[in-house]
């Protein structure tokens, strides 16, 4: 049987593309998108973190700014880096994820009140250079108007991350504070719900997700006691199973990102345990 040159070219092209398709890591379980906050691998650099993600089998990532910014810079030097870093450096970061077969879909850039105006806008410029449409931020309520000046311009959603600091009215912790960030501002002001911290603050993440799923850009999954430290998955009060089952039954396309913060051994081994636990809760 003879094969024409055109047919041979098609076959060759298909064969060349196959490894790329096979190399993409898929961590969707029963329709639930499970990913990782790269802060979970804060004990290693980005290249090593990507290797660990791939070996664990996690194909979605929210990139912690500590894996991008130089560790030796602080204060004005870090501000200067943010304001002047070549966007080619950010494009190289994106290429590392693409080469690893891992989808980079959010950049964690925590806007604070002491940020310069340019420093705030550059967060969006950097996210754009990395090809992401979401920024997650441990920020403050007083920062929201400044952030909302740029989010519509760049068409990038900002998911505000909460902790359990209910005593400080300027920190994201309670449902009404998230609401204040959304009310009177653009549709790009959203929520990054940490279900562990939300539980520790005294609120029900399942109820909140049902009510506000359209404005939640990502979840951080961790386990905590209602009062106390982070714990291995399954040992705290966070309703991890109920949250995952809700995502599954309601088909909410909200990434559920592992954020390993409890005291454990090797971060890769602990993240693998977290991932296994989440898969079991979806079974």
pLDDT computed for residue 18 by the predictor: 37
Q: How far is it, in rounded angstroms, from Cα 109 to Cα 156?
A: 12
Mean pLDDT of 99-123: 98
pLDDT computed for residue 265 by the predictor: 86
∠ CA 73-76-78, rounded to 5°: 35
Is pLDDT at 15 greater than 80 in this prediction? no
Q: How far is it, in rounded angstroms, from Cα 224 to Cα 262?
A: 9
pLDDT computed for residue 60 by the predictor: 97
pLDDT computed for residue 228 by the predictor: 86
pLDDT computed for residue 22 by the predictor: 54
Is pLDDT at 114 greater than 80 in this prediction? yes
Instruction: Tell me the per-residue pLDDT of 172-195, one tens digit each, with 9 for 90 and over.
Output: 999 999 999 999 999 999 999 999
User: Residue 179 CB: number of other CB atoms within 10 A?
Assistant: 12
Alpha helix (H) residue ranges in the chain: 5-22, 46-56, 75-84, 87-100, 117-129, 144-148, 151-154, 175-182, 195-200, 205-212, 240-250, 267-282
Q: Please tell me whether the overall predicted TM-score, pTM, comes out greater than 0.75 for this model.
A: yes
Instruction: Tell me the per-residue pLDDT of 217-256, one tens digit each, with 9 for 90 and over.
Output: 999 999 999 988 999 999 999 999 999 999 999 999 999 9
The DSSP code for 265 is S
Q: How far is it, in rounded angstroms, from Cα 139 to Cα 118?
A: 16
Strands 60-64 and 216-221, bridge-based pairing:
unpaired
Mean pLDDT of 62-87: 97
Mean pLDDT of 2-23: 46
What's the chain's average pLDDT?
Answer: 93
pLDDT computed for residue 6 by the predictor: 53
Of the chain, the percentage scoring pLDDT greater than 70 comes to 92
Q: How far is it, in rounded angstroms, from Cα 145 to Cα 151?
A: 10
Instruction: Tell me the per-residue pLDDT of 119-150, one tens digit each, with 9 for 90 and over.
Output: 999 999 999 999 999 999 999 999 999 999 99
Is pLDDT at 16 greater than 90 in this prediction? no
- Going along the chain from its start, the domains and CATH numbers come out as 25-282 (3.20.20.150)
């Amino acid at each position: 049987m003879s094969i024409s040159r055109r047919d041979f070219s098609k076959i060759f092209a298909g064969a060349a593309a196959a490894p790329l398709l096979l190399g993409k890591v898929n961590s969707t379980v029963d329709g639930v998108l499970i990913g990782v906050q790269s802060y979970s691998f804060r004990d290693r650099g980005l290249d090593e973190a990507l290797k660990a993600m791939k070996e664990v089998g996690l194909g979605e990532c929210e990139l912690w700014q500590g894996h991008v910014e130089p560790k030796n810079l602080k204060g004005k030097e870090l501000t200067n880096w943010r304001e002047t870093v070549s966007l080619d450096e950010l494009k190289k970061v994106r290429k590392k994820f693409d080469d690893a077969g891992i989808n980079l879909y959010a950049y964690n850039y925590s806007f604070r009140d002491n940020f310069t105006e340019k420093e705030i806008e550059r967060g969006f410029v950097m996210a754009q250079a990395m090809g992401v449409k979401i920024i997650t931020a441990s920020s403050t309520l007083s920062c929201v108007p400044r952030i909302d000046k740029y989010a519509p311009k760049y068409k990038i959603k900002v998911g505000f991350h909460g902790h359990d600091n209910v005593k400080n009215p300027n920190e994201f912790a309670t449902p009404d504070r998230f609401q204040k960030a959304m009310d009177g501002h653009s549709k790009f002001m959203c929520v990054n719900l940490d279900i562990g911290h939300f539980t520790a603050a005294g609120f029900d993440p399942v109820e909140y997700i049902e009510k506000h799923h359209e404005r939640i850009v990502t979840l951080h999954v961790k386990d905590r006691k209602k009062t106390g430290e982070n714990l291995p998955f399954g040992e705290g009060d966070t309703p991890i199973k109920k949250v995952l089952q809700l995502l599954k039954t309601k088909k909410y396309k909200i990434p559920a990102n592992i954020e390993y913060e409890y005291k454990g051994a090797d971060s890769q081994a602990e993240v693998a345990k977290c991932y296994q636990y989440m898969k079991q809760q979806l079974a």
